[in-house]
Amino acid sequence: MMKFIYSMGDVTVKTYLSHPNVQKLMKSGEVFDICILENFNTEAMMGLVDTFNCTLITYTSFVVVTWIDDMSGNISPASYVPHPFLDYNDKMTLPERLINAMTFNIEKVLYHFVHLPNQQKFFKKYFPNARRSLDEIRSSSAVIFMNNHVSASSPRPYLPHMIEIGGIHVRPANPLPKDVQEYLDSATDGAIVFSMGSIIQASKWPEQKREAFVKAFGKLKFKVLWKYENETLPNKPENVMISPWIPQRDALAHPNVKLFISHGGKLGTTEAFYQGVPVLGVPVYGDQMMNMAKFESHGNSIQILYEDINEKVLSEALNEILNNPKYMENAKKFAVRFKDRPLTPRQSVVYWTEFTARNKDFNYLKSTASDMNFIQLHLIDVYFVIFSAIAVVLLLIYKCVKFLLSSVKSSVATSVNIKKSQ
């Protein structure tokens, strides 16, 4: 997974920074007040900050991950913050905490010794005249916007300039296309929206996986709106409507929708929970496993592993989540918590962007940890001094005891010799 993520970052940087229009803009001499850049392992692109003489605002479409912690000096305690690529929630067993801690540390090693050196090469290639180093620019971000909200995850450490804006993409629902509106209106027993997003295409699944869904759906009284990337679906039940594209956000807002089947990505699940709709997740890659593990712990979701998909497993999961009222009740509670904020996500972005434009000194918001190296940040030098001092004291005690025992032994031997001579 890390190799895949890093390669995505490398390809993004090369594609973007070598594009003729971007090159033209970089050479135009234009300056800007603010540069808002996503950091998805694309650190080299931060060279644009010096090129345009602007203040950096960073955005992450992910939860907080190693590369965000590293650039900001934030911490993610492995004892209760699950790694985004593991299917854990914040209540981990000892074996899970062991695996979680090892995963975080392995990723940190890979990040510093594999990924960052590649990004340094891109930075030097595309920004040979940069005034600052890549490390200096990385740590200069005035604000970090995060596509998350505590109600959708769990409490964890954040620095003051790290702002949660999860749900910013959720706009007011628009009217549905006529055929979709009529179909969902006719679902008097309830409806299900099924979409695996834009990358995972259900039409390309193995036949046995697809057939499992077809047969499980055919047993339901609910109607199913399925994003299916083909004009025909073999053995399609009467209660299933397929379309290569569906207005997902708008469909989820329909009052007859009782369930969203998804891969567990942040955007789709957020749209469902915003409407108080429970989720049946089939996570496949990235943070989807972690997302679904957290949602399950909230009691508003069920997840099925892709490799476990069959008609029996699907039917059992569908019957549980559709017939047990706790999932809908918890989803409604989730929606209330998610929306109950002092500022909407969009208002937060506007405020903090204008705040950045008004101010030039952001050091009071940032942690000194961003200027520390690994040894200093993790107190390795301090522990070395402490353990060295303890070792010296123990050594001195050992020498003293050894000397005293030697002296006592010598005195006893002398006394014995004197008695023998007498």
Cβ contact 47:134 at 8 Å: yes
Residue 368 burial class via C-beta count within 10 angstroms: exposed 0-12, middle 13-18, buried 19 and up = exposed
Share of the chain above pLDDT 90, in %: 68
pTM given for the model: 0.85
* CA–CA gap between residue 286 and residue 335 (Å, rounded): 24
Within-domain flag for 416: no
pLDDT at 217 over 70: yes
Q: What is the DSSP letter of 176?
A: P
Cβ contact 47:133 at 8 Å: no
Q: What pLDDT digit, counting tens, does each position of 340-358 carry? A: 999 999 999 999 999 999 9
Least confident of 24-28, 198-202, 240-244, 413-417: 413-417
Total residues found in the chain within this entry: 422
Contacts of residue 339, defined as CB under 8 A and 6 or more positions apart, other chains included, come to 274
pLDDT of residue 17: 96
* CA–CA gap between residue 179 and residue 245 (Å, rounded): 13
pLDDT of residue 294: 87
Of residues 238 and 376, the one with the higher pLDDT is: 238
Per the structure, the count of domains in the chain is 3
Within-domain flag for 286: yes
Within-domain flag for 171: no
Residue 64 burial class via C-beta count within 10 angstroms: exposed 0-12, middle 13-18, buried 19 and up = buried
Q: Say whether both 238 and 285 belong to one domain.
A: yes
Contacts of residue 17, defined as CB under 8 A and 6 or more positions apart, other chains included, come to 23, 44, 45, 122, 126
Q: Report the mean per-residue pLDDT for the chain.
A: 91
Q: Say whether both 158 and 56 belong to one domain.
A: yes
Within-domain flag for 145: yes
Structure token pair of residue 189: 């027993």
pLDDT of residue 422: 59
Cβ contact 166:146 at 8 Å: yes
Contacts of residue 120, defined as CB under 8 A and 6 or more positions apart, other chains included, come to 44, 134
pLDDT of residue 417: 64
pLDDT at 421 over 80: no
> What is the span of the domain harbouring residue 201?
178-339
pLDDT of residue 367: 84
Within-domain flag for 219: yes
Cβ contact 240:222 at 8 Å: no
Mean pLDDT of 303-320: 93
Written as one letter, the residue type at 338 is F
pLDDT of residue 16: 95
Q: Say whether both 250 and 385 belong to one domain.
A: no
CATH of the domain at 198: 3.40.50.2000
Within-domain flag for 225: yes
pLDDT at 407 over 70: yes
pLDDT at 225 over 80: yes
Q: What pLDDT digit, counting tens, does each position of 47-89 carry? A: 999 999 999 999 998 778 888 998 898 989 999 999 988 888 8
Q: Say whether both 318 and 349 belong to one domain.
A: no
Q: What pLDDT digit, counting tens, does each position of 90-118 carry? A: 899 999 999 999 999 999 999 999 999 99
Q: Say whether both 220 and 133 belong to one domain.
A: no
Contacts of residue 335, defined as CB under 8 A and 6 or more positions apart, other chains included, come to 273, 274, 275, 276
Q: What pLDDT digit, counting tens, does each position of 125-170 carry? A: 999 989 999 999 999 999 999 999 988 888 889 999 999 999 999 9
Q: Say whether both 347 and 309 belong to one domain.
A: no
Within-domain flag for 415: no
CB neighbourhood size of 162 (10 A): 21
Within-domain flag for 264: yes
Smallest CA-to-CA distance from 287 within 88, 58, 27 is with 88
Q: Say whether both 157 and 253 belong to one domain.
A: no
pLDDT of residue 44: 96
Q: Is 35 helix (H, G, I), strand (E, B) or coil?
A: strand
Q: Say whether both 88 and 59 belong to one domain.
A: yes
Q: What pLDDT digit, counting tens, does each position of 12-31 carry? A: 999 999 999 999 999 999 99
* CA–CA gap between residue 173 and residue 136 (Å, rounded): 42
Structure token pair of residue 115: 């990924």
Residue 314 burial class via C-beta count within 10 angstroms: exposed 0-12, middle 13-18, buried 19 and up = buried
Q: Say whether both 123 and 80 belong to one domain.
A: yes
